Structure 1
């Protein structure tokens, strides 16, 4: 058990605000506790002599409890928690609402509650919580209408109403739980604390949850990474808005909404993200009870051609594959199946198959080393007994110790068979796609549990030079930087073309003359972000035209925006775009997870195609390398259609160096390197733009 085990296994619970008044929360909690709790329940209510026949105490300080459940009005709740802390009670659940969710006054009250809990080292759930449950001790310290049945899932939710709905449904489905927590406002304990606790809990096989937000994304990633080496975590995360991108000015900021941060963060944490309640429990049930597959090959055994094709399609859409049978397996099928059957995957035992034919086919398939898991897909017939088929499926799964998903299609006749399967830990699904999704979750968690996390590389960089460049925004109303900050990339070892920024035509010519060949010239202004749109970029300028080009660029900028700040013109070595791939490497700072890195196809099409992938920084070399493989344009980097492969190693290193830069400097709010041109000979950052918060320097 972990540090929070006393919270879930108290011997004496004080209910502060206990009452037997009809319709009250205090009554509901008392009734729930008195129903099954194996320990003592102590009512605390100075206005009552007794509650439900139990003597009522005047103060929680007199309760000698090891858990206090607080149901008093918010105006006195903080004082009650303080009294509990002074009395040495270090586990508290605050049911009371009226805190941070209600406005400024409530937020102030919640801050005070947090300070009291920290002062007395109290593990506090809530406020604004439905309560907590733990089935091993029969504890239902909540005001929900349902008790949980015993199981090996532990469940947290940011919505109390969601818990009540789930329990009502789960009891009907025969789904049990170990611990349940309504997180409430998370003033003290949050999702990371409970993930850590249940990861250490031998009685919890799967952690599941419904979250609306994660307060400290970095802490959650670190905690969940450790837990998911052994214990699967499946979460529904609601809220897929892009509100965080509305004020963004970079390409990365425009593309990277809040959900991308959660998607990347949860993936890096090893969490399986479910898109619906159905997916949540489909994944959780199979992870709770089934072994992990050694391979991704699935054998489908069916008596129905149509559903067999449906399952094949679903497997094709997943990370799984249809298993290729060994020769001896095909021979065994040939000997036992009728001529009209199909010995190849999906194995069709034909509509007249009896239980013996089904059982033998499943036995043969599971014995094949190419088969990591199997799916028993059956439609009702007059010669098939679903009850016997369920028993055979359970026996074959136990014999071969490989995961099996059942898809017994039908209505009332399926229920007894489904109960037999469920008791053995084999979920039954009506829809073949759901059965495939369950097997897919096992495959995903196998890979998660086998991950080897590496520490990010630390490069030798010039932090002081970088800080000096970033500090140039101090005292300015506009804190954006463009190509004038190319030195920032150079300070962190990211290759850039030769060149300089000048503020006079003669100086432009001097820079151009030291560069071999024609040059690129760009207007430099923090007020003009899309320089190409106004003709603020000239490509392939020979030395004899540099002077006039300088004058023309400044004139165009003035005509476009008379009040724009013109820093000068950048004169830069030309990069051969035709021989390389234009990519983008960027960062947008997420409020919960911190620096969110982006990599993708760059150039002028970045926002149109949005061929991008994300990670939360800092990233290791394997994570950076994975980013280069995840975009649709990945084959271009590796030499598609006869092209020479680009310097992928250089791209990977640039991602890592940018990761270190934005981790070192929280003042960088968003940043784009676009394009980062990757050629067979190396990479070069051609353009950069960023926004800085001077208060963070």
Structure 2
């Protein structure tokens, strides 16, 4: 049998994974620490820091550094870092800001790989502080040093005993990784954690995030086996792409809960477009969190409550909660809180109701909340719970107990213990009262049933759990392949580029309605027929060609909101009406220029204000007016908007926001968050809008925004949607200013599909194929691909056999297909049968960056029947070219020692092959600088 061409090196979802040292280990798991600025002065940061390190043994050595003292706290001190007799892993710096760049330079010279800068006085102090930060970064990059801070509290690793902070106490060890930008909040959280008995796997104060940011720490804690959940106090997002990339990957296995300060809309409104007026930076942040599976909460208690409940209970599959209570009032409170937080009361099925009728007294509530009455004993509670939990309409249960004469809180809790993990539904409890319920509350908590003193809190926590499920489900769902009519030349990018360049060369930033619609049409978005007329006679001629009734709209290179200046005339039924409308638009604009201060400022550009009118047919179909748009956010770049459109769009404020690029799943998600979505699916006898077509249109619109980076703002308002068709009645596009250079254009927060890596190629036997990056829509093709692999192919790829059922599991293939192109690139070799037009994948090559480094691992697997066709060599060569484009330094792979074919391919392309500690495995490695593509 021919040796297949494979290698190992995918991501965490693979069974075998090479352990790699993370640069942040120098900070979180140092073997030696230098305290630079250590002091004997009572109450000083340097003294508190040194005392914390030596009084909480972490298994390493501490070296005080102070040029003025021989010893500090009884420990020998050293004048400089050069005088320390051993290699130091971590330097913790507590000296005045101006001294820090020089200290960092000395640390780099001695080989220190990690530093925590506690000192303040940097960018928060103004220009001088910013200059100091730049000097620090230059020195750190020279030695590949990672830095936390400056202006931070420090870092604790409670499980190992490391306390590199100047906090007054050490955090309890536990399973929560806590990251905060606020040092003051850290100390408050620390005090709170002792009262609430919350423990931490890591406790990190980030400070100014000069170097180490959210993404670095999320990846690090994601790989940490002791961290079960990550909670974050955030003041600013920093590197948005890094955060989103890390959070999306880690949130699939560990919950990430964020509290973000500042919900007010701080971003300036963009008055030139409806979309700009409707999007605020905080709403965009919410959309970003949804996109990567992060849960946002509003209070510190919710932050840790969610960390606890998501570690103890399964996430609900839907928003419907069943409430079981022995008192009506608490049940009503829970219901109000549930609905206010976006949850739903689960309807009780007929079967459930019949079973409860047989169990409960006649006066039970006969609905949800299920009031089992105040005399309920433990047996009534458990039997009612057994019935309610089986109801298919319910996604979770909340059990409320108020101490009454017949109530036994402790015994009821004992009876509920077996239901801690039942039917994949979360079970929450609210034991209300004081000392009488304490024992029962403790029993429930010890058995992984979270308890809350108030039922409204528990209901809100359930809604948060559903939000978390909803966010993650968007990552797991397999989208549908978007439809493009390549035969008709759609999208016509050349047409769009020409329109934009003509406008830019003329110094214009606003495209006319006609130009805007041409761009939409170039991407296959249906637009209403539009005829430009520069005189009354031309308008009449256009109207008669189109057919009455028609609409006339102002044709201008300056004004975007035509209705604001009386620039729209509708339902014109004859030539006379068209002539009258033409002059009415012209007169109305003239009146605005004369009397409205806002428009009078434009009078100097009169020649561009009125260029005539556009004539369009009146669309004779009933439908819904929608708005689809995109504008810029200061933190996340281009963002998308969908909602109820028309003239009152800013009044209704029914809209949702998402980050591009979209696929069909994400397109549906943004629509689901609006009120109009329910109507679009059909109400009161009206047919549903073609939702599949609307999803496709959203995906195409997203692609337009992603590809046409010169577009600053764009909206379609209205997009008329009915069961028969979708059609853009009006469009508005604003370009970036003429003085903006291409390298200054805003970047997307999420890297789009890398089309530059798509190209045709021919196998040795002459078979034409396409090599392209993998897409989320490829999951069905990947299922078929795995069916073509022999046991030997699987063994060479994964180093042991994995059953087909495991390899094609939806959760696994989702992670393989729906990748972050900023973190990894997977190239597939696709063959399309010319007769049947069916597609299949013949091979996959994957390049994955290693967290915290500038290195990557590669993996290649080729289906058995396509081996020996040069595919392995071609894929590896392309992955090396990707590595060069991404400015990576080193590429490695572990290869089974008897996989000679893969080793031969690596050697051919310049890899160095060496033995490892495992006699069955060799390591292939190449310095990208030495790679030279074959001609």
If the length of structure 2 is used for normalisation, what is the TM-score? 0.69
Partners of 2:289 and 2:389 in 1: how far apart?
33
Deviations 1:645-696 (A, max 9, x none): 4344443333222211221233322222111122333222222223221314
Give ranges in structure 1 of 5+ residues lacking alignment.
Answer: none
1:469 maps to which residue? 499
Aligned to 1:37: 57
- Counterparts of 1:126-165 in structure 2, within 5 Å, are 126-165=149-188
> Retained in 2: the 8 A contact 1:333–1:361?
no
Of 471, 476, 481, which aligns to 1:452?
Answer: 476
Give the alignment of 1:218-229 within 5 angstroms.
218-229=241-252
Structure-2 change in CA distance of 1:622 and 1:81 (3 Å): same
SS at match of 1:437: helix
Identify if the C-alpha distance between structure 1 residues 396 and 618 changes in structure 2 by more than 3 Å, giving closer, same or farther. closer
Q: Aligned partners of 1:344, 1:580: CA distance in 2, in Å?
A: 38
Distance 2:583 2:344 in 1: 61
1:488 to 519, 537, 544: 519
Aligned pairs for 1:269-418 within 5 A: 269-293=292-316, 298-317=321-340, 318-322=342-346, 324=348, 327=351, 331=355, 334=358, 346-355=369-378, 357-358=380-381, 361-362=384-385, 373-381=396-404, 384-397=407-420, 403-418=426-441
* Secondary structure at the counterpart of residue 108 of structure 1: helix
Residues 86 and 634 of structure 1, relative CA distance in 2, 3 Å threshold: same
Deviation track 1:17-57 (CA, whole Å, cap 9, x = no partner) reads 11121121111211222222322222122222112111112
CA offsets 1:437-457 (integer angstroms, 9 cap, x no match): 333344443444444255785
Question: Which stretch of the first structure deviates more once superposed, 20-29 or 293-302?
Answer: 293-302
1:163 Cα offset (Å): 1.2
Quote the residue 1:679 is aligned against. Answer: 722
Gaps of 5+ in 2: 1-18, 485-489, 594-602, 743-935
Shift of 1:333: 7.8
| Structure 1 position 617 matched with structure 2 position 638 | no
- The 1:675/1:236 distance shift into structure 2, 3 A limit, reads same
Partner of residue 18, structure 1: 38
Change in CA separation of 1:248 and 1:121 when aligned onto 2, cut-off 3 Å: farther
Tell me, in whole angstroms, the C-alpha distance in 1 between the residues paired with 2:591 and 2:189.
63
Q: 1:120 aligns with which of 143, 146, 156?
A: 143
Equivalent in the alignment of 1:54: 75
Query: Equivalents in 1 of 2:653, 2:47: separation in Å?
Result: 55
- The alpha-carbon distance between structure 1 residues 605 and 342, as it changes in their structure 2 partners (threshold 3 A), is closer
CA contact (8 A) 1:302 1:378 kept: yes
How far apart, CA to CA, are the structure 2 residues paired with 1:248 and 1:110? 36
Contact 2:352-2:388 at 8 Å conserved across structures: no
Partner of 1:479: 509
1:235 deviates by: 0.7
Selected match of 2:29 from 9, 34, 39: 9
Asked whether 1:557 is paired with 2:589, we answer yes
1:431 aligns with 2:454: yes
1:515 alignment partner in structure 2? 546
- Residues 194-233 of structure 1: matches in 2 within 5 Å? 194-233=217-256
Q: Deviation at 1:625?
A: 2.5
Q: Deviations over 1:218-262 (max 9, x none)?
A: 443332222222211111112122232434321111111111101
1:536 paired to 2:536? no
Following TM superposition, by how much is the alpha carbon of 1:378 offset from its aligned partner in structure 2, in angstroms?
Answer: 1.6
From the superposition, tell whether residues 66 and 593 of structure 1 become closer, same or farther in structure 2 (CA, over 3 Å). Answer: same
Find the residue that maps to 1:80 and give its secondary structure.
helix
CA distances 1:152-204 after superposition (whole Å, capped 9, x unpaired) = 11111111111111110111111111112111111112112222222222211
CA RMSD of aligned residues (A): 3.0
Shift of 1:367: 6.8
Asked whether 1:240 is paired with 2:270, we answer no
The counterpart of 1:669, out of the listed 697, 712, 726, is 712
Contact 2:546 2:617 in 1 (8 A): no
* Contact 2:714–2:733, Cα closer than 8 Å, also in 1: yes
Within 5 Å, which residues of 2 pair with 1:62-77? 62=84, 64-77=87-100
Mark the CA change 1:383 to 1:177 in structure 2 (over 3 Å): closer, same or farther. same
Query: In the comparison of the two structures, how many residue pairs are matched?
Result: 696
